[in-house]
């Protein structure tokens, strides 16, 4: 049994037929080939799969692809500006060493982006509490907090071309 669905991801429409039990994260990764969104657990704890659905950060392992039918999603691949420059959140993580292995990073970026949309100048406590659903095993979180603070303090970011090496 398969269901036809249509999901807009990063401005592109994906019309596909899926098994109804397909998780959104598997749809994004396996059907659409957008592998920037990661999977780190099977209990909705780690947040590596966080995407933005209709403006809200959601864990895409906890949403069925069919539930996202006709909705609009942004993944990490859709974060950078059209000219390839980084958003303030991406640039903040780079400037403040907010990532090490980079596996939790896409989820962190999406959660942080949604946070700053809602609270443009969060306190340290607000940042920590709003990122509670995203686990990182490498950084100990302080540099992630600093990264989000950097983004809040630099809403225009620094335009940097993707692929540049510094």
Partner 1 sequence: MSIVGAKVIRKEDPNLLTGRGQFVDDIQLTGTTHMAFVRSTEAHALIKGIDVSAALECDGVIGAWTAADLELPPLPGVPGLERPALAIDKVRFVGEAVAVVVAENKYAAADGTELVIVDYEPLGAVTSIEEATAENAPLLYEELGSNTVAEVPTEDDHQAIFDAATHTETIKLVNNRCTAAPIETNACLADYGPAGLTVWASFQAPHHLRNRISAWLAIPQDQCRVITPDVGGGFGQKINFTPEFFVAPVLSKILNRPVKYSQTRSEAMTSMYHGRAQEQEVSVAFDNDGKIQALKVFASQDMGGYADGTGMGMPVLTTAMSAGCYVIPNVSIAWRNVLTNTTPIAAYRGAGRPEATYLIERAIDHIAYKLDMDPTEVRRRNYIPKDSFPYPTHSELAVYDSGNFEGALDELLNIMDYQSLREEQAANRENPEKPLLGIGFSSWLEIAGFGPPGSLEGFGHLGSWESVQIRIQPDGSAIIYTGASPHGQGTVTTFAQIASEYLGIDYEKISVRHGDTATIPQGIGTMGSRQVAVGGEGVKNASLKIVENAKSIAAHKLEANPEDIEVADGSLFVKGTPSKNLTWAEVATFSFQRLELPEDMDPGSLDTTILQEVPNFSFPSGAYACVIEVDRQTGDARIRDMYLVDDCGTVINPLLAEGQVHGGVAQGIAQALYEEFTYDENGQPTTATFIDYLMPGAPDLPSYISGRINTPNPNNSLGAKGIGESGSVGTPPAVMNAVVDAVRHLGVTHIDMPATPQKLWEILQGGSK
CB 69 within 8 A of CB 6: yes
Angstrom distance (rounded) from CA 38 to CA 52:
14
From the number of C-beta atoms within 10 Å of its C-beta (0-12, 13-18, 19+), residue 11 rates as exposed
Residue 136 CB, nearest distance to partner 1 (Å)? 7
Quick one: which of 45, 56, 69, 123 contacts partner 1 (CB under 8 A)?
45
CA distance 43 to 135: 12
State the Cα angle at 28 between 110 and 24, rounded to 5°: 85
The least distance separating partner 1 from the CB of residue 18, rounded to whole angstroms, comes to: 11
Per-residue x/- marks for partner 1, 60-99, CB under 8 A?
Answer: ---------------xxx-xx-----x---x--xxx-x-x
Contact range with partner 1 by CB under 8 A, out of 63-71, 114-122, 149-157, 158-166: 158-166
In whole angstroms, how far apart are CA 63 and each of 3, 4, 96, 138?
Answer: 15, 16, 32, 27
Q: Which of 4/140 has CB closer to partner 1? A: 140
Q: Does 109 bind partner 1 (CB under 8 A)?
A: yes
Q: Please tell me whether residue 143 binds partner 1 under the rule CB under 8 A.
A: yes
Quick check: 133 binds partner 1 (CB under 8 A)? yes
Contacts of 138 (CB under 8 A, 6+ apart): 99, 100, 101, 104
Closer residue to partner 1, CB minimum distance, 70 or 163 = 163
Pick from 18, 13, 62: nearest CA to 37 = 62
State yes or no: residue 117 binds partner 1 (CB under 8 A).
Answer: no
Q: Which residues bind partner 1 (CB under 8 A)?
A: 19, 21-22, 26, 29-30, 33-43, 45-46, 48, 75-77, 79-80, 86, 90, 93-95, 97, 99-106, 109, 124-125, 127-129, 131-145, 160, 162-166
């Amino acid at each position: 049994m398969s269901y036809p669905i249509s999901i807009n991801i990063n401005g592109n429409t994906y019309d596909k037929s899926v098994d109804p039990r397909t998780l959104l994260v598997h749809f994004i990764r396996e059907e659409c080939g957008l592998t920037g969104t990661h999977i780190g657990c099977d209990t909705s704890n780690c947040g590596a799969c966080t995407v933005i659905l209709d403006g809200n950060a959601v864990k895409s392992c906890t949403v069925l692809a069919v539930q996202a039918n006709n909705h609009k999603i942004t993944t990490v691949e859709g974060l950078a500006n059209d000219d390839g420059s980084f958003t303030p959140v991406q640039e903040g993580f780079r400037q403040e060493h907010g990532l090490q292995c980079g596996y939790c990073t896409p989820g962190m970026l999406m959660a942080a982006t949604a946070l700053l949309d809602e609270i443009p100048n969060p306190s340290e406590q607000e940042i920590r509490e709003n990122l509670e659903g995203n686990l990182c095993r490498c950084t100990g979180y302080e540099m992630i907090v600093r990264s989000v603070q950097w983004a809040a303090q630099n809403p225009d970011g620094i335009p940097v071309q993707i692929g540049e090496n510094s």
